[in-house]
Structure 1
């Protein structure tokens, strides 16, 4: 069998239920009967009960008779979620790119830039968690796994924090860890609220996000997760006049004149001292004020439990004065 490509990041399905009443106000509405309450509680249990049928990002229904005891993850974001759910013992295979938590590096590797199909099949997993962001490269691999009788669940690619919450709850439901998933989501929401509260009243700054070094400088445009995060912390993405991730010329960056330059990569030594040396960059406000900062690429991009920490890191980098 052939090996197939993989790479990507992570979400799809959401739950939200709010109910309330004010006992001090007279209304014609009645409180739910004990029978209604019992039905509501039962439905909450049933949605996490086995056997269950779940629908993945491709629209495929997968039936699970019991919580999986052997799991393979094909992307770091899924892996971080699964470890966050407390599934250390159940995870039997991850990719070469999985580096968090430390326990992930000790798991059997099933490939890096391509999947080792034979190895995955030999591990006899109860389920494999793939990702929609890598379907261009992994569709053939998934077909081979399914042809061999391996269940593959494709997690949707998250577009925002709500999608990320949904992915976490979805994986929690599929693994019998829904309660743990809901706790992770609650903690993330609390962190996001804490960050946004600290930024109330800040003067928005113009930000340029650089994801690769020259000669091919790439940035995050409209429709990217990074753009969503900048919006959440009242920062103006100067590259939002174009869609998705795209290559940008140095002259365009100079013309946009950002207040802050955020670097998301670490493969270039001393990049924070090299950027100001680029021709013409001495005129940029961020360079003049020495507001060139570097953030962790993984925490600010992987749609998993650490993403709220990544939002805080990004906010601190752009608005350090709000966190003193």
Structure 2
């Protein structure tokens, strides 16, 4: 009887352990299937701060993302990925349509985060503006790759800023998070609105000269077409973007602005939430009163990130620029479905 009981007990133990082993194997297989169900592992190219192209590999869908820069934060919210953010740093934007959602993110630092702060969060991906990847800031992209943490970089002024480059960044975002269905719809909608403007602009004969200036602490700065996105909007809407230097970014003297004598001025100011103040400071500048744009108060203030870096509401800004440059052509047209 005892022998029979021992046999039954042993048989039960074998069933239980076998069941557990099969369960563990099944769980392991499910994890493997989840990891490989989409497009992972995937490889893609990014640019270092210096402009060198490097390849990054992501082995699974990102779940713990460290983000740096408000434009990146906007992307995460726009496409429903904010729950994956474990840390946010460098809140560089004064205005955003996603401020409420961004403020809910765990703010690691208002400015550049430390390497130690990032490592402590144990992210499986760092998504950042390219300027952060310097040794004196958070370290180079290869240094993070050596730690086993892949990186996505964006807004790299070394390679330049353009609408095409910005759209490529959106495509990379969609690929990384396996949401290309969403990003493709967004890109198609944005491009359709842009095409609508450029098609109407083809018949425009009068091309006013437009100067972009960046205001900061009572000074004015110039951005070359390589270092801005808004130049394409100005040209696409039937105007001429005034180029004043071969340099990508320089301080402008009032004499240079007077000599250019633009028909219209578009001004932006980094992290300045009071656009009316920015506009009035320019219009009331006593040294610029003989300029046509100032005399006619033909001045437009735009948000910095969208104008220079490129932002998620890109087509909105394109339409606003078009309406400012040619109100007779674009007022009431860009949004009326024509």
Name the SS of the counterpart of 1:140 in structure 2.
coil
Bigger-Rg structure (1/2): 2
Say whether 1:210 aligns with 2:210.
Answer: no
How far apart, in 1, do the equivalents of 2:189 and 2:222 lie? 30
Q: CA RMSD in A?
A: 2.6
Give the TM-score normalised by structure 2: 0.73
Determine which of 100, 122, 125 is the counterpart of 1:127. 125
**1:68, distance to aligned residue in structure 2 (A):** 0.7
Q: 1:234 to 1:138 in 2, by over 3 A?
A: farther
Q: CA deviation at 1:183?
A: 1.3
2:316 corresponding residue in structure 1? 309
* Offset of residue 169 of structure 1: 0.7
Where do residues 178-217 of structure 1 align in structure 2 (5 Å cutoff)? 178-202=180-204, 203-213=206-216, 215-217=218-220
Distance 1:213 1:303, change over 3 A: closer
2:88 aligned partner: 94
Counterpart of 2:251 in structure 1 is 247
Tell me how far apart the structure 1 counterparts of residues 253 and 302 of structure 2 sit (CA, whole Å).
22
User: Which residues of 2 match residues 32-181 of structure 1 at below 5 A?
Assistant: 49-58=39-48, 59-97=53-91, 100=96, 101=98, 102-136=100-134, 138=137, 140=139, 142=141, 145-146=144-145, 148-155=147-154, 157=156, 159-181=161-183
Unmatched tracts of structure 2, length 5 or more: 1-35, 332-338
Unaligned runs of at least 5 residues, structure 1: 1-45
Q: Which residue of 2 is the match for residue 282 of structure 1?
A: 289
From the superposition, tell whether residues 97 and 52 of structure 1 become closer, same or farther in structure 2 (CA, over 3 Å): same
User: Structure 1 residues 273 and 216 mapped into 2: Cα distance closer, same or farther (>3 Å)?
Assistant: closer
Which has the larger displacement, 179-188 or 230-239?
230-239
**For the residues of structure 2 that align with 1:252 and 1:98, how far apart are their CA atoms?**
29
Name the SS for the 2:222 alignment partner: strand
TM-score (norm 1): 0.76
